Structure 1
């Protein structure tokens, strides 16, 4: 291998210009990023551009300059086989390059966690096998963290420039690791460069959301390479030819290449002795011309290399080609000399450009392609050392699959899937298992029989068996978990349905119960129902069998169901039994899941401190042991329950730790949960711009209907509080789209949805619609144990009735509606200060609706919210309190309360509440600012028809059909004063009665607009 490398590496391709053309702006940007990284501030640059535009040349030139300046450089490239189960391939290549350059220094830097990093760099030793494969999902997070620590350690004393090319071919695991590094790198002299083919990034390409996510990071810059201009093509041709090109040649090459640097090179190599028009305009034909010009002995070698993948090792190429070394080197010399292949530093061969490889591979006949793939697979089976050990299983799986040999392909694909799981690459594992599913029916029975596929996966009941039907079920179990870990719940649900059909009549209830339990979880996550029927089926299947891990798993899921749908003593008893059973069967992960449910249920039933102690203990173990499977609930639950108890600041602290863990482990949907809960806490604390930002981030990261609905839920609440009813209506519609309104919906989802629908209806004056929403919610029979979600709904209903003061107290349905709200409120717990405060607030609103509220009721509500650090509710209370003290004649106290409320509402951005305070102050003729005074006057500008502001207030109520007594009540004046104002209005407008005055006011538009301009 070294002989071939020494002979061929230095060969130069005369079609490549020795002069680097253009790219001044991009070079300057890369130099600036290098300088910034040199100061210890990690930088990242993404270079995009169409195929052949010059991305690789730009990076090569830059790497040369960086290395000359003393930087340590390493380059890795994503390979097409990565999509078939070769996760982390470019990262492994980069680490391998660093290991070759730094040797023992890298080994020393990895001391203490080499067993982890050996999954990426086998040279560090044997991967840590002490962890059970079934639960090694948490190791993925440690793998990411150890990679980060290694790079930061190496970058303390040197500048590292790391390049990963062809990101458009990257596997999911590589993208997640890169995203983790880019978000988390804080220290070290590191510059990370990546390139991708932008013309391959279609609308549904997985790289598109990845790029969008990176665009939000301040340390990441993105550059898009444009095609060359005519003058730049002239310079490129001059460099290739050694002289200025003739105008005719320049015109022909520029027109046909359209400024694409690679096509310029290809056309330039064919221009000598060619007449215009000799070259086909077909890109494929253009790319194949140079291959067809190779000697007959070299062309088969190029075709074999094309089928081998993005890179082919020399020894493997020799074994497949079947040539002696002299003939092979002669063929490679011709291919390298013609600029088709390049010799890499690792002794392998790549095509100089992926477009050429794709064209050569596409030109192969189907039978020819499968025959070459078979020869690759047979060569690797005969001598596995021909490729790096960490690539062997994935490469074998790809070659056998392309050889169309199911008997060989199925075991190879399953082995590659197992390897992907050991590297915590669950998206790639799922793709490989889907390929195995495709091969299953075609594979011989003797091959399938006895396959051991599942790895003791989360209580799944394994046993040694020879039945290929059970092996098939084991594979479906692995697919179910891989889909869950990879964030593909729809795919997981489909797999479970297939498994349950396959189980019919087989007599394996434990396996069936396991699948039904998984189905329950996915049904809930997808918002397809509450999942109880699935859990009940699982429990029925287990009846009469001795305790097992499956029993513990099912019971723990039942406890979780109870914590969400029916928080009460019965569910707490189930959680205690689940914990006991998990300990009996020795399943510590299931035990922790049961403890999480128990902690939440203790809080819901009033034993807050006991519940928090349980939750904090589990969260501490998650951090200490890196239990990512538990992390998906531990910090989310603790954060949410702290907020429900009114401890918002504590909730935010837990969120910070939870976010760091979820980012480390790549748990995107968990990040959506945590960001949504952050939005709740920030909203309660009055930090609404931050709450909106967190809600938007939750919406961006949501991967299931439930988390998408929750993102909309937070935005709907903000829109309603700000008075943006149209935006609120759109977000409420998004909530309803992802959540059925009541069927199978937990109170934590159903009650906020009902609250917002009710609030929107009331804000638009549709009090009957608001009542209907509450009636539907109450009739749905949902548990009210989750008081933190139900109290805001009940208060919104009370406020809707209280706000309908224009409706006579004796109007049909009014008394019944108030009674329904009060009865619903009486079912709710008041275990914590914030719940009790909502109880006091709700009762005060109901008394206002009945006309019996006094200032003391609102004073009591204000005291209840003291110390809760929630600015919105006290502002709401102060508006109502001011109204009550006005009725008692205390104008100074009312002015003080309204000023406080208006100031708080304005600072929050609660436009509706601020306007309510302003209108009340205007009606009562009170100032809103300290030291302000109400003005008095008799005259007015012409557009007010001589009416004072007070008279315009009266006129607006006359136009609304109010009597003198009702006007007096609303404006806090005596009925006699109201009568005087009405008489003055009739005289100034020169009308004979109230009806004519109202009609004139509407016709001339003098109510509302004129009031703002009229004198006091």
Structure 2
């Protein structure tokens, strides 16, 4: 097509090449081809191609840790919504939300996922909605809300005829959460996710699974399995890694005591990983706390040595047990025994863990009751009578439910419940 007069087909070909490079984490090339597509699209007045290319460039910039990515993703989303390109809009929600989850911008991720899932449901884009739900499960896992992550991910996996790539985020989360909770089947799920991820050839489907398998092996002190997974990760071009992925790799490399040094790529290592790598695990834990990742904070506390080891391990055990993270709690207790500080740890918990299961969308117990009555078709007046609450209270609680569902009406809530039945079944104790 380059031998013909410049046309819209060539502009989209450039943008598609940019998309493929972005999916394979070849960010420099993705940006180069995307900018070429943007220039030609603007010359031709091709708004749809501009939307497509902005998404590729913005995602590549954010994953590469460079400035300008967020602005481009905000623009592609706004343009797609303004011009009624539903598929492009949901793709923008998907990529932007994933970037926010990966970079630990959880407030932004919450908003984008809520809006994106509601938008996809409203426009009958069920496959996209289920993919976004997998990312929502990932967000809950990162926040240490393991039972909510499990509920969402298992719900997605129970759906029939969902394409492989669309269920992979949920499958990966389900495997990792089961592994962290010490529940059976976690490793089988992760190995399944790895096989499916390898079939795609995309690093976003492969790197997180190998990192999860490394974590599982480390928790059980199986350093041979650690070496197997870390060696496979290091065999990839490290300059293609997202900054947060490489930071996790570098920290795992150190924790597992790998003999060979790990080459450092051009990407800047995120602050919590860098702090641990520079021998400041307490600072790393503080940064993980600030970002809202309690499990990662506790893992960093396990690396503390010297006079602070006892209090650090005691805090780590407390966090792990509050999260029901049994394997990590057990390893922390083993480390404390080896370091002679076991007496500083809280007493081991006996019997089942009693962690409350919160609602995946943050609904209160009263709001969940109202949601059930909405699903049953009751009016506000009927709900007020049944629950013995004032009409004004019910009105406020219905508004809260609609807001947390990012829904404009009761009908949109019902549409969400059709695709996410677990939102009604969650235990609110």
Matches within 5 A, 1:299-318: none
Q: Indicate the SS of the match to 1:606.
A: coil
Change (3 A) 1:753 1:920: closer
- Distance between the aligned counterparts of 2:64 and 2:221, measured in 1? 37
- 8 A contact 1:791–1:828 mirrored in 2: no
What's 2:343 paired with?
926
User: How far is the alpha carbon of 1:926 from its aligned partner?
Assistant: 1.6
Q: Deviations over 1:20-41 (max 9, x none)?
A: xxxxxxxxxxxxxxxxxxxxxx
The TM-score with structure 1 as length reference comes to: 0.32
Q: What pairs up with 1:452-471 in 2 under 5 angstroms?
A: none
Q: CA deviation at 1:738?
A: 2.3
Alpha-carbon distance, 1:905 to partner:
0.8
Q: Specify the alignment match of 1:827 in structure 2.
A: 265
SS at match of 2:79: helix
1:764 deviates by 4.7
What per-residue deviation string (whole Å, max 9, x for no partner) do you get for residues 300-320 of structure 1?
A: xxxxxxxxxxxxxxxxxxxxx
Q: What's the RMSD between the two structures over aligned residues?
A: 2.5
Corresponding position of 1:617: 75
State the alpha-carbon separation in 2 of the partners of residues 780 and 896 from structure 1.
Answer: 38
- Indicate which of 200, 204, 207 corresponds to 1:748: 204
Q: Provide the C-alpha distance between the structure 1 equivalents of 2:180 and 2:223, rounded to a whole number of angstroms.
A: 18
Residues 492-541 of structure 1: CA distance to partner in whole angstroms, max 9, x if unpaired? xxxxxxxxxxxxxxxxxxxxxxxxxxxxxxxxxxxxxxxxxxxxxxxxxx
Counterparts of 1:658 and 1:613, CA distance in 2: 18
State the secondary structure of the residue aligned to 1:740: helix
Deviation, 1:863, is 4.2
Closer, same or farther in 2 for the Cα pair 1:769/1:912, shift >3 Å? closer
Matches within 5 A, 1:4-23: none
Q: CA offsets per residue over residues 702-730 of structure 1, 9 Å max, x none? A: 72221233221111111222233x42221
What is the CA–CA distance in structure 1 between the aligned matches of 2:313 and 2:187, rounded to whole Å? 29
Q: Give the match for residue 649 of structure 1.
A: 107
Match of 2:62 in 1: 603
C-alpha separation in 1, matches of 2:241 and 2:301? 29
- State the shift of 1:904 in Å: 1.0
Q: How does 1:481-880 map to 2 (within 5 A)?
A: 542-608=1-67, 610-701=68-159, 703-724=162-183, 726-740=184-198, 745-781=201-237, 783-801=239-257, 817-820=258-261, 822-823=262-263, 826-827=264-265, 829-830=267-268, 835-841=270-276, 843=277, 857-880=280-303
| Structure-2 change in CA distance of 1:601 and 1:683 (3 Å) | same
Give the number of equivalent residue pairs: 344
Seen in structure 2, the aligned counterparts of structure 1 residues 586 and 700 have a Cα distance that, compared at 3 Å, is farther
Q: Secondary structure at the match of 2:268?
A: coil
Task: State the 1:903 CA deviation.
Answer: 1.4
1:94-145 Cα deviation digits (max 9, x unpaired):
xxxxxxxxxxxxxxxxxxxxxxxxxxxxxxxxxxxxxxxxxxxxxxxxxxxx
Shift of 1:671: 1.1
Alpha carbons 2:77, 2:89 under 8 Å: kept: yes
| 8 Å CA contact retained: 2:145, 2:323 | yes
Q: Conserved in 2, the CA contact under 8 Å of 1:751 and 1:789?
A: yes
Structure 1 pair 749/607, CA: closer, same or farther in 2 (3 Å)? same
Once the two structures are TM-superposed, the CA of residue 665 in structure 1 deviates from its matched residue by 1.4
Matches of 1:909 and 1:925, distance apart in 2: 20
- Distance in 2 separating the partners of 1:761 and 1:879: 16
Checking the alignment, whether the CA contact within 8 Å between 1:572 and 1:598 is kept in structure 2 is yes
Equivalences for residues 401-440 of structure 1 within 5 A: none
- Is residue 298–residue 315 contact of structure 2 (8 Å, CA) maintained in 1? yes
Q: CA deviation at 1:578?
A: 0.7
Alpha carbons of structure 1 residues 555 and 871: separation in structure 2 relative to 1, 3 Å = same
Would the alpha carbon gap of residues 699 and 584 (structure 1) be closer, same or farther in structure 2, given more than 3 Å must change?
Answer: farther
Distance verdict in 2 for CA 1:669–1:685, change over 3 Å: same
1:446-465 deviations in Å (ceiling 9; x for gaps): xxxxxxxxxxxxxxxxxxxx
Deviation at 1:687, TM superposition (A): 1.4
Q: Check 1:606–1:764 CA distance in 2 against 1; reply closer, same or farther (3 A cut).
A: closer
Question: Higher strand share goes to which structure?
Answer: 1
Deviation at residue 785 of structure 1 after TM alignment: 3.5
CA distance in 2, matches of 1:611, 1:601: 7
- Would the alpha carbon gap of residues 676 and 561 (structure 1) be closer, same or farther in structure 2, given more than 3 Å must change? same
Alpha-carbon distance, 1:782 to partner: 6.7
- Cα distance in 1 between the residues matched to 2:220 and 2:314: 26
Report what 1:465 is aligned to. none
Deviations 1:36-68 (A, max 9, x none): xxxxxxxxxxxxxxxxxxxxxxxxxxxxxxxxx
Per-residue CA distance 1:756-777 (angstroms, 9 max, x = gap): 3333444454423322332233
1:642 deviates by 1.1
Cα gap change, 1:792 to 1:599, in 2 (>3 Å): same
Contact 1:644/1:788, CA 8 A, preserved across alignment: yes
User: Do the aligned partners of 1:699 and 1:708 also contact (CA within 8 Å) in 2?
Assistant: yes
Residue deviations 1:530-588, cap 9 Å, x none?
xxxxxxxxxxxx24122122111111111111222134333212111111112223321
Look up the match of 1:900.
315
Q: Distance in 1 between matches of 2:147 and 2:254?
A: 28
Question: 1:753 Cα shift?
Answer: 2.4
By how many angstroms is 1:862 displaced? 2.9
Name the SS for the 2:225 alignment partner. helix
> Is the contact made by 1:723 and 1:911 (CA closer than 8 Å) also made in structure 2?
yes
**Could you tell me the TM-score, scaled by structure 2's length?**
0.73
| CA distance in 1 between partners of 2:342 and 2:221 (Å) | 26
* Contiguous gaps of at least 5 residues in structure 1: 1-541, 802-816, 845-855, 933-1016
User: Corresponding residue for 1:910?
Assistant: 325
Query: 1: distance between equivalents of 2:292 and 2:194?
Result: 31
Q: Please report how far the alpha carbon of residue 783 of structure 1 lies from its aligned counterpart in structure 2 after TM superposition.
A: 5.0
- Helix, strand or coil for the counterpart of 2:210? helix
1:151-166 paired onto structure 2 within 5 Å: none
Residues 90 and 128, structure 2, Cα contact 8 Å, conserved in 1: yes
CA contact (8 A) 2:96 2:112 kept: yes
Equivalents in 2 of 1:857, 1:900: separation in Å? 16
